[in-house]
Structure 1
Amino acid sequence: MQNDLWNYCLNLYARPGVEHACLRLQDQGMDVCLLLCAAWLQQRGIACTEARMEQLKDCAEPWQREVVQPLRQLRTQWREACAQDEALAALRVQVKALELEAERTLLSRLEALSQQWQRAQSQDNCDWPAMMAASIDRPDYGALQTLRAAIDPA
């Protein structure tokens, strides 16, 4: 089990089907960093509450809006043009690296915020990923199920 959020996310994202599931949910408007943090909290047995959920969102939303999303948008806009422009392709690789570093920074902030949260008193704690996904319209439940299965591959 990985204790820190970044390494946990790398490990989880590499599991079969998880990348595709996360990207499907991202296409629906889900913040994948929040979703992966939710998976980490679920795996650690941390009790979830609306207040904690709001704290995570309040931490993530400005960073996503002001840093991650502009980098992602630029990288996406350059996708087709890179096929004909080597210099632009090289810049796009750098933008992708910045986007990843911005996500790593966000995950570090989410980890720091939640580090002292206590474990649930019972095993009947809530479903962090589903609660996080409830913020979007009609989330892809198949993608959520893929993520749940990867969190606890018992």
Structure 2
Amino acid sequence: MSSDLWHFAEQLYSQPGVETACLELQEHGADVCLLLCGAWLGVNGVECSAERAAQLRAMSQPWQEQVVRCLRGVRQDWRARAFDDPQLKALREQVKQLELQAERIQLERLAGLATQWPRSDQPSVGLWLTSLSAPLADSGRAAQNLLCDSATALARL
């Protein structure tokens, strides 16, 4: 099951509106990798529990804060300056690739944690997303709902 999470995340992210929804959730402080993992677990019928959600958050939070957000911060800080500086633009692109690689590692770690959790035929995407997200403003909830609906639709394909 663990090798499928990255592929699932790529497919889900490419669905109409999902990239925008994920960026919006990220702006609201959500860990999008954690939410993508939750959607994947829900689609695969893994039962959501407070204990499992806590395990996923405990694994995800340090990596997200100490690696992914640091790389993202550098990339975002360089956005305006890189526009007129080809060398900085090239460095910024390398940082972007490192950020993506860090997110992939985070997803691999999350999937590895969940590998032994049993599956069922009962999808629970909404429960996982609610359990793994911080309290969201109305626009954040709308983005979360779009992510849930898209993951459920993707699972039907």
TM-score normalized by the length of structure 2: 0.90
Does the 8 A contact of 1:43 with 1:151 survive in 2?
A: yes
Q: Does 1:150 align with 2:145?
A: no
Does the 8 A contact of 1:29 with 1:136 survive in 2?
A: no
Question: 5+ residue gaps in structure 2?
Answer: none
CA drift at 1:151: 1.1
Question: 5+ residue gaps in structure 1?
Answer: none
What residue is the counterpart of 2:111 in the other structure? Answer: 111
Query: Equivalents in 2 of 1:141, 1:67: separation in Å?
Result: 26
For 1:17-36, list aligned pairs within 5 A. 17-36=17-36
What residue is the counterpart of 2:65 in the other structure? Answer: 65
- Deviations for 1:37-67, whole angstroms, at most 9, x for unmatched residues? 0000010010010110010011011111111
CA drift at 1:136: 3.2
How many residue pairs get aligned? The number is: 151
Aligned-residue CA RMSD in angstroms?
1.8
3-state DSSP class of the match of 1:80? Answer: helix
Higher helix share: 2
For 1:1-154, list aligned pairs within 5 A. 4-120=4-120, 123=122, 125=124, 127-133=127-133, 135-138=134-137, 140-153=140-153
Q: Percent identity?
A: 43
- Deviations for 1:79-118, whole angstroms, at most 9, x for unmatched residues? 0001111000000000000000000000000000001101
Query: Equivalents in 2 of 1:136, 1:85: separation in Å?
Result: 39
TM-score normalized by the length of structure 1: 0.91
Hey, which bits of structure 1, 4+ residues long, moved more than 4 A?
none
3-state DSSP class of the match of 1:55? Answer: helix
CA drift at 1:149: 1.2
